[in-house]
């Protein structure tokens, strides 16, 4: 849903999903690449907030 509307689902939600399912990690990485304005990056499998 987030990829369709571009709405940031929130760092905590993405972080929880990333830990729950390895397949979701791939989807989340693609989502973060598509929306860099969210200020969230995935580094070595860990989600990080950044100001850029």
Instruction: Say how many domains are in the chain.
Output: 1
Domain of 35, in residue numbers: 9-49
Give me the pLDDT at residue 3, please.
63
Copy the structure tokens of residue 22.
């390895």
Task: Let me know if residue 4 belongs to a domain.
Answer: no
- Dump pLDDT digits (tens) for 1-52: 566 667 888 888 888 888 778 888 898 899 999 999 999 988 888 888 987 5
CB-CB contact of 17 with 29 (8 Å): no
Copy the structure tokens of residue 23.
């397949």
CB-CB contact of 11 with 49 (8 Å): yes
DSSP letter, residue 45: T
**pTM passes above 0.85:** no
Task: Let me know if residue 20 belongs to a domain.
Answer: yes
């Amino acid at each position: 849903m987030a990829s369709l509307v571009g709405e940031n689902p929130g760092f905590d939600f993405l972080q929880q999903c990333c830990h729950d399912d390895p397949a979701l990690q791939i989807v989340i990485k693609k989502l973060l690449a598509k929306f860099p304005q969210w200020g969230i990056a995935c580094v070595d499998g860990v989600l990080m907030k950044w100001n850029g």
